Amino acid sequence: MLTETAGLCTAVLAEASREEDWTRPAHGLDWSCRATLDHLALGLVGYAGLLTARPTDRYIALFASLDPEAPLPARLEGIRIAAALLAATVRGADPRDRAWHPWGHSDATGFAAMGLVETLVHTDDLARGLGIGWRLPDELCAPVLARLFPELPDDALPGHSPAETLRWATGRGTLPGHGRRVEWAWDGTVR
């Protein structure tokens, strides 16, 4: 699901063809669109590294970034590569493998869900910042909500799409009766 989602998201982002567009802020973030895309690559590769090294108390020392001089198609290819690295690491992990994350020691399915959340919400941030009409796919949002946000209030989901709920859960929107979450974290612990 990671590689398919990255393919879908990068196809959406390829609609922003002008390089200068990528210097503007991503929607709701202090980062430029270019920096947000780089953050996404770093996160995907970082999750693969954590699951490979399996530290119990720290981040790993591997950092990966996109070539800032590369044209947009090459940077988007970098996102697909990063997602493929995480997907391969998840497939190759033993079900007993665990690794540290500040939001809960996790297993392969947890790191896959983290990669999906990063890819989905940052594509949404980028699409909104770049003025691309796109909507988070409910069918991709629902499983990550179930895996990483078990604390959601009972009234957060009924009557709201998984996409709206994921945006709210990650501090990017509101739901009736629930203001914007200023501080949030997912729960990556194994269940």
Least confident of 77-81, 101-105, 114-118, 176-180: 176-180
**Mean pLDDT score of the chain:** 93
Give pLDDT, residue 5: 97
Six token digits for residue 62? 């591997």
Taking only the tens place, the pLDDT of each residue in 9-66 is 999 999 886 777 899 999 999 999 999 999 999 999 999 999 999 999 999 999 899 9
CA distance 185 to 171: 9
Give the end-to-end CA distance of the chain in Å, rounded to a whole number: 20
Instruction: Please check whether residue 126 is in contact with residue 36, taking contact to mean a CB–CB distance below 8 angstroms.
Output: yes
Give pLDDT, residue 64: 92
Least confident of 112-121, 164-173, 176-185: 176-185
Q: Per-residue pLDDT for 159 more than 80? A: no
Give pLDDT, residue 21: 84
Percent of the chain with pLDDT over 90: 83
Closest CA to 148 of 126, 120, 129: 120
Instruction: Indicate the pLDDT class of residue 152, thresholds 50, 70 and 90.
Output: confident
CA distance 64 to 58: 17
Work out the average pLDDT over 67-96. 96
Give pLDDT, residue 16: 82
Give pLDDT, residue 157: 66
**154 compared with 67, residue with greater pLDDT:** 67
Q: Per-residue pLDDT for 69 more than 70? A: yes
Structural domains in the chain, sorted by start: 2-169 (1.20.120.450)
